[in-house]
Structures are given as C-alpha cells and as structure tokens.
Amino acid sequence: MKSTATMTAPPRPMVNPLLAATVAIFWLSVFFGVVWVRRYLSVPERNLEDWFGWLERGGRKKRDVEAWGSRREVAVSDAGLEVVGRRNKGSVKLAWEEVCAATAFKRGHYLDDQVSIRFNLADGTSVEADEQMTGWNSLCDKLPERLPGAPPWEDWFVQLAQPSLESSAISLYRRA
C-alpha cells in the first residue's frame, strides 16, 4: 500500500528585508572603504599619517592648496614672524615688538570652523594666520615665549572651539 500523502518542503524562514538591506549596505561600505583606503595610500606622496589626519579633520581637506599655485604658511623666528598669503600675493613680515595685541578667533563656516589669530600692529594694521597654514603649530607653541602673558595653546583652544559652528574670540595678548 502506497501512501497518498505528498511531501511538502519545510517552511522557509522569514527574512526581514530591512535587515537584509542593512547587511548588504554594510558589506558594500566595507568593501568600498577598503578599496578607497588602498587607493588613497597607493599615491606615493600620501602615507598613513596623512590618512589619519584626514580622519581627525572629519574628512575635510587641508586648505594649503599647492595644486592651485598658492602657498599659505607662517614662518616663526626669534625676531618675529612671516605670513605668506594666498595666491602668492607676497608676504608680510612683522617683529614681535610691533605686536600691540593678539586675538584668537573662530569663524563658524557652514560645515566646519576655522581658528585664526589676528596680530594688531602699532601702525594700526593687522596680520592674520589661520590653522590651515603650514607652521601653525610652531606659531602656537612660540606665542607664550614671544608675547609675555599669552596663554599656552592648550588653555585657549578648547575654550575657543566650543560650541561648534559659532563665531567666538579670545584675547591672547595686549601690550600694557
């Protein structure tokens, strides 16, 4: 006697479509992320430190754009500093003795902030240096040594940086 019962397949487990899409997007982003990092690091001028710097800047590019033919830097010496501006429009040299006041300020741009220091001079002019310039760290390190009473970078930067995307200013030095 033959059985008349038909064999049925076991029920398929239900797959949550949202979970499947999330897993697919995750693995695609991992794949393309690895491909991008390998491609980024394959350029000889770049290294792992540049890539970590890019991550620390939140994906923002450095603004000293050599490709545009511009050089933006601040050179610090015992005698003073030299600021080389955008588009090679020349440079400004100033002696530490000429500085009457120094103010650190933050411009809140649409997506990021830019921290700058403005040096007011005795003749009424001012010179600015910003954090995107080559030599910025050296300038911030030398300020307390060259301008008596100026606080170290660690004391004023965090206070200036918060809140994000809002303009603010801190006086660093004023000649008595």
Is the backbone of residue 140 left (phi > 0), alpha (psi -120 to 50) or beta? alpha
Q: Say if 96 falls within a structural domain.
A: yes
pTM of the full structure: 0.58
Query: pLDDT tens digits for 64-85?
Result: 333 334 467 899 999 999 988 7
Compute the distance between CA of residue 117 and CA of residue 8 in angstroms, rounded to an integer.
77
Give the CATH number, domain containing residue 150: 2.30.29
Question: Is residue 85 packed enough to be buried (19+ CB in 10 Å), middle (13-18) or exposed (0-12)?
Answer: middle
Domain for residue 6, yes or no? no
Same domain, yes or no: 106 and 146:
yes
Same domain for 71 and 30, yes or no, is no
Q: Is the peptide bond before 163 cis (omega within 30 degrees of 0)?
A: yes
Which stretches of 47-142 are assigned E, i.e. beta strand?
Answer: 73-76, 80-84, 91-95, 99-108, 113-121, 126-130
Q: What is the DSSP string of 38-71?
A: HHHHHSTT--HHHHHHHHHTTSPPPS--GGGT--
Q: Which residue type, as a one-letter code, is found at position 49?
A: E
Domain of residue 76, residue span: 66-174
Q: Using CA atoms, how far apart are residues 143 and 1, in angstroms rounded to an integer? A: 101
Number of domains the chain is built from? 2
In a domain, 1, yes or no: no
Q: Is the pLDDT of residue 12 over 50?
A: yes
Per residue in 125-135, pLDDT tens?
A: 888 888 888 89
The verdict on 92 and 116 lying in the same domain is yes
23-50 pLDDT per residue, tens = 888 887 777 776 666 665 565 555 566 6
52 and 21, same structural domain? yes
Mean pLDDT within 146-166: 84
Is residue 173 left, alpha or beta, with left meaning phi > 0 and alpha meaning psi from -120 to 50? beta
